[in-house]
Amino acid sequence: MATLEQQIFDAAKRLLCDASGCHDFDHTLRVAANAEKLLAAYPQTDAQVVRLAVLLHDCARAEEDASSGKVDHALRGAEKAKTILFQYGAENSLTEKICTAIARHRFRGQDIPQTMEEKIVYDADKLDSLGAVGIGRAFHFAGKFGARLHNRKEEALAGAPYGKEDTAYREYLVKLRHVPEKMLTPFGQELAMARLRVMDEFFAELEKECASAE
Ligand SMILES: [Fe+2]
Ligand SMILES: [Fe+2]
């Protein structure tokens, strides 16, 4: 018989196969790989909680996208995960820990990740917004809304979200370059800083190439 983790892996894969490119099952697999690095650095952590929470952390993302942001995918995801985990016979105490980590993985407002397991799920997810993957995701997202390939810093900062000036560069300036400060584990922060350096170099080069075209 398949293990709980294998069953949840299959369930997550089914649920996320129609999700958008930035939050599809590939994203979940990359977050899982990030989580393994963090688990190796913090071996006292409950790996089962982390692995199952990672697999299900974005299971309600499509609902948030379809509602234009009205549904909070972290909270809705926690509810959905509870049903899924019950279906596969997970113990209540395990389900509780997984669902809390999912509810807190977004870290907006008051619901701050508290346990090491919750912090690792959060950091593993955040790492996927940085580095070469982060660059790819930023362009993927900007392209979906018809944004320009690149713009000047002043244009980017004056631009509105989801508009023509909401470029990958804007995402980097406004959000992504501040992600390392928001990491919750020391090793997660170290990894985030290394990935940010890749982005710093990329956007500096993009600036240079585009400036020579003006
Ligand atoms: Fe998420
Ligand atoms: Fe995610």
Residue pLDDT tens, the chain, 214 long: 789 999 999 999 999 987 776 788 999 999 999 999 999 999 999 999 999 999 999 999 888 888 878 999 999 999 999 999 999 999 999 999 999 999 999 977 678 999 999 999 999 999 999 999 999 999 999 999 899 999 999 999 999 888 999 999 999 999 999 999 999 999 999 999 999 999 999 999 999 999 887 7
Ligand at minimal distance from the CA of 26 is: 2
Q: What is the pLDDT of residue 109?
A: 65
Ligand at minimal distance from the CA of 61 is: 1
Ligand at minimal distance from the CA of 28 is: 2
How far, in Å, is the centroid of ligand 1 from the Cα of 86? 21
Which residues surround the ion ligand 2 when the cut-off is CB under 5 Å? 58, 125
CA atoms within 13 A on the CB side of 167: 18
What would the two tokens of residue 35 be? 């989580």
CATH numbers and ranges of domains, the chain:
1-116 (1.10.3210.10), 129-214 (1.20.58.1910)
What does pTM read for this prediction? 0.95
How far, in Å, is the centroid of ligand 2 from the Cα of 71? 15
Helix spans in 113-185 (H): 116-127, 131-144, 153-158, 168-174
What would the two tokens of residue 68 be? 């234009």
CA 89 – CA 4 distance, rounded (Å)? 8
Torsion of CA 203, 193, 119, 62, to 10 degrees: 10
How far, in Å, is the centroid of ligand 1 from the Cα of 117? 16
Q: What letter would DSSP give residue 176?
A: G
